[in-house]
Structure 1
Amino acid sequence: MNIFHGIIEIAGQMGILSSALNKKGHYSIGYNTFHSYLGYEDCLVNTDQPGIEEKFEEIMETFDLFHFHYGSTIFTDFSDLPELKKRNKKMVMHHWGNDVRFHDRARVNNPFVYTGDSPPNEEIHEKLMKITPYIKDAIVQDHEVYDYVKDYYEKVHVLPIAIDLRFFEPSYPSLEKKRPVLLHAPTNREFKGTIHVEKTIEKLKEEYDFDYIIVEKMNHKEAIKLYRDADIIIDQFLCGSYGLFSVEGMALGKPVLAYIRPDLVGRFPSDLPILNSNPNTLYDNVKLLLEHPELRRDLGIKGRKYVENVHSHDVVAEKLLEIYSQL
């Protein structure tokens, strides 16, 4: 099967999924028009909007299945969808969060949520109404995103974030380390709740001896090298779910703090080892990890195991192929 991914690379997922699908005997590649300092390259054709539109006929002839991401297709007006439908091409839309996070709905179960990156509600609705006459199935990473699109598609599949564990050798926190390293890596400070992290760090510095590293605007491969030296990973505290940074932290064998909405906790596997922290509990939970190196190590070991079972790109690709078979 020839599988097209496009056209916006989010958290390296088009490339990671394509790599796993290729290993399983398919041909999969992502066409990416969104370029950032993260520098994702694996299994990608980095192009621009005019470039991908010029290749539409060639792409349509080459691929059997079209896996679109972030509410975007090859043409900005979605005029490719009726053409693909005429050719009986299989299609699925992968939504990632900010592309469909309706502002009012996000606040129903989450007093902390930040939706400043999401388009207005009317724009989200209008876009979904253009997509769904042609694409009947959607994919989301978890049930936080699920609720925003469940009424628009005939079926919504939950597929965990994927990670290629070959690039993440675990480095568990040392029990003897006297000056632990706390690390936070916001791609967007407002979305991640960085202001709460920094307030917590300033308060803890008065009581404990530790190093704090903030990683921003750095190439992804270079950032991973810094993550390996951390003892505590501090991710995001407003969204109500965890993202790729949490997965990478767990894959490296680190304890991770992030906020999981109370109503969503039961929707994740019961062995999820993330230390659930919101802006009001972040201080107490970081303090707990600073005082208990054995807990840091224990959560790190559990996190690595969790990622192997849930987020390994080989595991995720098998689930993805099952979704493809249902389209």
Structure 2
Amino acid sequence: MPLTQSAMLSEREFALVNAFQRDFPLLPHPFSTLADMLDTDEATVIGSLQRLQNRGVISRVGAVFRPNAIGASTLAALSVPAERLDEVAAYINALPEVNHNYQREHRYNLWFVATAPSRERLRTVMQEIEGHCDCETLLVLPMLQDYHIDLGFDLAHRTSGREYASAPGLSRDIEALSEAEQGLIAALQDGLPLVARPFEQLGLPEAEAIGTIARWLDRGVIKRFGVIVRHHELGYTANAMAVWDVPDDIADDIGRRIASNGCVTLCYRRMRQLPQWRYNLFCMVHGKDRTEVAASVAALSERCGLAAYPHEVLFSCRRFKQRGAHYAPVPEAAHG
């Protein structure tokens, strides 16, 4: 069995973490269905998931929403003096709109993702960050096209043959949500309750909650629904964001090539912010060590015809915050 950073995974834990990161059963008793597939009982499955969550191996069981489908999101970065990095990172962490916050090896050394219910609210948050942190120009790099957004990890290192790039013609507009749908998103953002009938506890009738989630999956509003792992705790402690400056007219073609390559967890095109940031094509590569990740990026560049384009590889140094995106208000530390 593979090692996590804290402990070994049992055979059953390995199966839960590896096999059910997507295609979670949208049924009244989903954990009973998983139990039948694992030749065990419902209480054992629920108990195993609760222990994995308590150990930090998984963050939740639930939905990964497509960015900008039910709200607005952006990648952003600051160039923070070393002596202020912890202070600024703590401020960023405390913002409820921020779900990921990492130090990376670059002049722009603090990279974070923020989500909000609307573009207007997200713009306000970015203005507040830039004004408060006083760290030169804030990079705000909204996504223009996603080619592969999954962050699932095949711990058995088998190739699934699935294609996760966005379906052609998928709407890029923010969904108009009913009050009931907004309530469902708020209930889902921290994951399903780990109880026998979790869909009963989402603020809608059980059948309506299941039907709405299924519809969002079918339309691509939800990218996947299942066990959401924490990659550091599973031993994927090295990761790099590789970026290229590619002509816009061929970026989609190259992005799809990267997405189909099988060695990236994320791939997308973002806005440039000139003159500070020239790069428009991004991908994330995760691995067990830095050498493995660097080799994967080099091989990817060669296979996808990227060697001629300006690029940089930004390795992650520290993880300050990692959780699922929150599109509804949550109680977090206030800024005074």
Given the two structures, how large is their TM-score scaled by the length of structure 2? 0.24
Higher RCO structure, 1 or 2 (CA under 8 Å, sep 6+): 2
Using the size of structure 1 for normalisation, the TM-score is 0.24
